[in-house]
Amino acid sequence: MIKKFLQHVFRGKKKPAPHTPHEAERFPRRAHGIDRKLISPAAMKTIQELHKAGFAAFIVGGAVRDLLLKRTPKDFDLATNATPEQVHRIFRRSRLIGRRFRIVHVMFGAETIEVTTFRGSHLSDDGDSQIADSGRILRDNVFGSQEEDAARRDFTANALYYDPQSEEVWDYHHGLQDIKAGMLRIIGDPVTRYREDPVRMLRAVRLSAKLGLKLHAATEAPIPHLADLLDDVPPARVFDEMLKLFLSGHAIESAKALRAHGLHHGLLPMLDVVLEQPLGTSFVTLALANTDERVLADKPVSPAFLFATLLWHEVLLAWQKHQDQGERPLPSLMRAMDEVSDTQSQKLAITKRFSIVMKEIWSLQPRFEQRAGQRPYRLLENPRFRAGYDFLLLRCQSGELAMDLAEWWERFAQANAEERAAMLLPNSEPAKRPRRRRKKPSTAAQ
C-alpha cells in the first residue's frame, strides 16, 4: 500500500514539459574549446563591469553558437540579471532602447553591445491571457530567471551562455551536444513553439541553411503544415526576417529550403513563381547568386536592389498587361510598379526607404533603351545610374534583353566625349528596341 502510494507520488508526478526551465550543465573550456581571445574587447569590458557590480552576465545566443561552430560572430549580445536601469547606471555611454521590453545599448567607440535582462515565461499569473487563439505570443515582456530565459529561446544551439571570465558554457537544453552533432533542434514541443511565434519556422530554415546544420526531424516535420500561420505575423517582422534570410550570404540555399518546406507561398509573389520551377539561370537565381557573392566578399549589398530583382517579373507581367490594353509604356510601368508594391506590402512590408529606391531602379529601366540625343547623357548623371545599370545587366544576362544593350552602356559610360558622340543612335530613327522575350516571365524563369 505504502509502496503504491510512494510510486504514485514519484512516478505519477506530472512530467514537466520539455521546455520548462531547469538547471544548466556547465562545461569548462576543454569541453567546448572557445578561445576567449575571440571575444570582442567591448563585450569583455561590459561583462567585467557587470560582474564587478555583483551581477551575472553572459554572452548568449548567436555569438556562442557561432564561436562553437568556428565562425566569426556578427555581434556579441549579453544577458544579465541586472535590470535595464541598473545596467544603464553602470555604463556612462549607454542608452535604454525599446518601450515594451527595454534593453540597453552599451557603446564602445564604433561597437555597440546589446544587453538584455533575463526574460521570463510569457504566461502571466492569471493564465494565458497574452496568447492569441492561434497560440501566438502577443506580449513577451516579463523579467525572469536565467533558466526561464533559456527556456524561451528558440533552438538548443541558441540557448547557450558563455562566461568569458570563468570560461564556462552554461547549457540548459543540450545545445552543445546538438551543435557537435551538426543539429538544429527547437526547444520544447515544436508545434507549440511554432504556434507561439511562427517566425521561428523562417529562423529554422535560415539558420540551418546559413550554418550548415541539419534540422532535427521533429523540428522539421510540422513546418509545412503550419506554414499558413505566417499570414498572421505583422508584415514588418516578416520583412526583417526575409532581409536576414536573403542577406545571409546563403540566399540560394535559403530560397531552396523555403521552397522545400512550403514556406515561400505568399511571402513574395516572385518566389512563388520562380521557386515552383527548377532553379536554373533565371533572373532571380542570378540576382541571389550575385548577392551571395557580394556578401561573402564583404562588399555592401543594397536591400532595395535585391527586392527590386525579386519582384521584377511581377512588374514586367503587369507592365505588359497595361501596354496590351493600349496604355503608353511609361504610365503603364508606373502603374505596374504601384500595383506590385501595394500587393506585396500586405504580406511583407518593404520599408519605405527601400521601396523608394526599388521604384527608382525600376523606373530607370525604359530609359536605358533610349540611346539617341541628350537622354543617355542625362541618364549617366542620374544618382541611381549604377544600380539601374547593374539591374539592366541582370536582365540581359537572364535573356530578357539582348546582351548588346548592356554592353553599349558599359562602353558609353567609359568612353570619352568624342567616342560617346559617335556611339549615339541617330535622332531621326527610333532607338532600335532590343529583343524582348515573347514568353511570359513565369516560363522565362526556368
| Cell numbers standing for residue 94 | 549607454
- Residue of 79, 176, 199, 223 interacting with ligand ATP (CB under 6 A): 199
Q: 155 - beta bridge partners?
A: 186
Question: 32 contacts which partner out of ligand ATP, Mg ion, none, CB within 5 to 8 A by kind?
Answer: none
The piece of 4-12, 199-207, 275-283, 340-348 that touches ligand ATP (CB under 6 A) is 199-207
Residues 62-101 touching Mg ion, rule: CB under 5 A, are 62
Q: 116 - beta bridge partners?
A: 79
Question: 37 contacts which partner out of ligand ATP, Mg ion, none, CB within 5 to 8 A by kind?
Answer: none
- Residue of 119, 122, 185, 200 interacting with ligand ATP (CB under 6 A): 200
Question: 313 contacts which partner out of Mg ion, ligand ATP, none, CB within 5 to 8 A by kind?
Answer: none
**Catalytic residue positions?**
75, 77, 154
Instruction: Report the alpha-carbon angle 415-421-422, nearest 5.
Output: 90
Question: 144 contacts which partner out of ligand ATP, Mg ion, none, CB within 5 to 8 A by kind?
Answer: none
Question: 19 contacts which partner out of Mg ion, ligand ATP, none, CB within 5 to 8 A by kind?
Answer: none
Confirm or reject binding of residue 171 to ligand ATP (CB under 6 A). Answer: no
In whole angstroms, give the CA distance from residue 368 to residue 380: 10
Decide whether 164 or 249 has the Cβ nearer to ligand ATP. 249
In whole angstroms, give the CA distance from residue 158 to residue 347: 28
Q: How far is the CB of 216 from ligand ATP (least distance, A)?
A: 16
Q: Which residue is nearest to Mg ion (CB)?
A: 62
Site string for ligand ATP, 127-166 (x = CB under 6 A): --------------------------xx---x--------
Residues 232-271 touching ligand ATP, rule: CB under 6 A, are 244
Residues 60-99 touching ligand ATP, rule: CB under 6 A, are 61-62, 74, 77
Which chain residues interact with ligand ATP by CB under 6 A? Answer: 61-62, 74, 77, 153-154, 158, 197, 199-200, 203, 244
